[in-house]
Amino acid sequence: MIVLALNSGSSSLKFGVYGVTNDKADVCLTGQLDTIEDLAERLATAGVPAPQAIGHRVVHGGPLLRRHVVIDDSVLRDIEAAMPFARRHTPATLAVIMHTRKAFPTLPQVACFDTAFHATLPDVARTLPIPKAWRGDGIHRYGFHGLSCESIVHQLMRELPGGLPDKVLIAHLGHGCSVTAVKAGKSVDTSMGLTPDGGMIMSTRSGDLDPGLVMHLLDECGANGTRLQTMLEQHSGLAGISGLSGDMRHLHAAAGTDTDARLAILMFCLSAAKQLSAMATASGGVDLIAFSGGIGENDAPVRAMICDALAWFGVRLDDDRNVSGQGRISADASTCAVHVVPSREDEQIARHAERLLVPAMD
């Protein structure tokens, strides 16, 4: 099956065309789009095989959509109903789905949810510590970056000589950041919560905050709900700490002379190490740490600082391996393996589309 995978994130619109057979996805073409209107022309000029199906990354499925599904009108209504949980992401994703339904009216389409991988969270991780009366209507921990986690589990399972280790911690570090504890292939805890704004420090998102701070900003500083949401999602995190940029590359360039840029990097690395320590507790130990995402895959100094903060329980990197940034980067004496594993969300979308649609076509 030839699948067009569309990945509309918080800061990009990526696409990939894959040939999928029996869970194996071969890439035909990948790229990034400025607007969805460019898609048909891009595919036509590239000379790739015509897609037979389309798969979409959807950040939040809400309480009703906990599995990857074939899109119909009912599914679209449920995605729209879940929009309050991911207001930065869902409107753009719905616009992409509606456009592709018009541009490719005969093709089946599939929605793949970042929250689906975390549907296995136990109650002790899923439940939020708020009054029981408020815990209805889908108010609980969902977790995100699920397609990235799935792709990492898929790669480790097939590429490591012993298969997937029992206790894996996944640090997806990019524009958005999360840490997930995977035990026996299933998510058992994760740093993001009801929305993709929780957990560790991110590029422009604050991550977890004292609720009293939020109330103080609302009551004493004249911030209304909309202004506060914008501040915490778009002007906080690395960008807020440094006053310079949410891009780690810019912060590295400035860190030699800018104390706030240095502080932002240090706080980011400590935030990641804290989450990894917490997830090691949730999974009852750690056999392997996987770094992924734009920062996790490409920033050797950040990986080194995070792992230095974990030296207390025996994590050690090999400097040369870390600089190469491929495969295992831990030292032989490390208490757990540390790997760099690329996030391949689009391949996962293609696999899910083939899995869901081929039986229906047979």
Q: Give the C-alpha separation, 205 to 251, whole Å.
A: 16
On whether the CB atoms of residues 304 and 331 are closer than 8 A, the answer is no
Strands of 167-173's sheet in order across: 186-190, 177-183, 167-173, 288-292, 337-340, 327-328
Q: Which residues are catalytic?
A: 114
